[in-house]
Amino acid sequence: MRVTIFDYGAGNLHSLAKALDTTDVSLAIETDPVRAVETDVLVLPGVGAFGAAAERLASGRGIMRDAIQRGLPTLGICLGMQLLFDASDEGAGEGLGVIAGRVTRLNAARVPQIGWNDVTPVAGDALFASAPLSMAYYANSFVCRPTDELAVAAWTTHEGDRFPAAVRAGNTVGLQFHPEKSSAAGVQLLHAFLKTGVTP
């Protein structure tokens, strides 16, 4: 199975690459958004700022969006999840628009949220059913606000603000937390996505 991480700039991909690089995976790290979609599973990693990432995405935005909407299994992590949405208050530029909604600042006194917080899956989500995870590591100032709550696969709360810990649209999953930093249970979730994410 070909798994490709779209590298859109600054950031630490070591742990993510190591976690995804299992025996039956051929892992690639690709900086070109058009070439990145020539894969079996696409991963949008999670470090950086929305504006800069949207700029790096711009030249291949339409092609990547089409590939995802045709069913390319895609996992967006943190900022990568936010890129699945239309736009963000954090910076200019367009997201992929695969999930309708906007990214806005966390409505809390302590921002960024840094640390381990709950993950409360919505009943019946296949990914969390196969790899249970109740707590994960977050490091974010912005959160996704999907237009339709049916897109939410798991919730979490920071202070009084309830927001999606995970979203899903078909084969595409977005995670606000960092599975590659959430110890053994997080790594198992990544492996589960590689398995279940590919089946419709």
Q: Binding to other proteins by residue 123, rule CB under 8 A?
A: no
Among 15, 69, 104, 130, binds other proteins (CB under 8 A): 15
Given a contact cutoff of 8 angstroms between Cβ atoms, the answer to whether 82 and 135 are in contact is: no
Least CB distance from residue 200 to other proteins, whole Å?
29
Record the tokens describing residue 181, joined without a space.
């930093």
Q: How many residues sit close enough to other proteins to count as binding (CB under 8 A)?
A: 35
Q: Binding to other proteins by residue 135, rule CB under 8 A?
A: yes
Of 54-62, 69-77, 147-155, 173-181, which part binds other proteins (CB under 8 A)?
173-181
Query: What's the per-residue H, E or C state across 12-43?
Result: CCHHHHHHHCCCCCEEEEECCHHHHCCCCEEE
Record the tokens describing residue 183, joined without a space.
């110890």
Least CB distance from residue 157 to other proteins, whole Å?
7
Least CB distance from residue 73 to other proteins, whole Å?
22
Q: Binding to other proteins by residue 176, rule CB under 8 A?
A: no
Q: Binding to other proteins by residue 182, rule CB under 8 A?
A: yes
First to last CA, the chain: 16
Residue numbers annotated as active site:
78, 178, 180
Chain positions 84 to 113 lying near other proteins, rule: CB under 8 A, are: 109-113
Q: Binding to other proteins by residue 183, rule CB under 8 A?
A: yes
Closest by Cα among 166, 172, 137, 132 to 149: 166
Q: How far is the C-alpha of 88 from the C-alpha of 83, rounded, in Å?
A: 8
Helix H or strand E segment including 138:
strand 135-140
Q: Binding to other proteins by residue 115, rule CB under 8 A?
A: yes
- Beta bridge partner(s), residue 42: 4, 74
Helix H or strand E segment including 120:
strand 120-121
Record the tokens describing residue 140, joined without a space.
């974010």
Using CB under 8 A, list all residues that contact other proteins. Answer: 10-12, 14-15, 18-19, 47-49, 109-118, 135, 137, 139-141, 157-158, 178, 180-184, 186-187
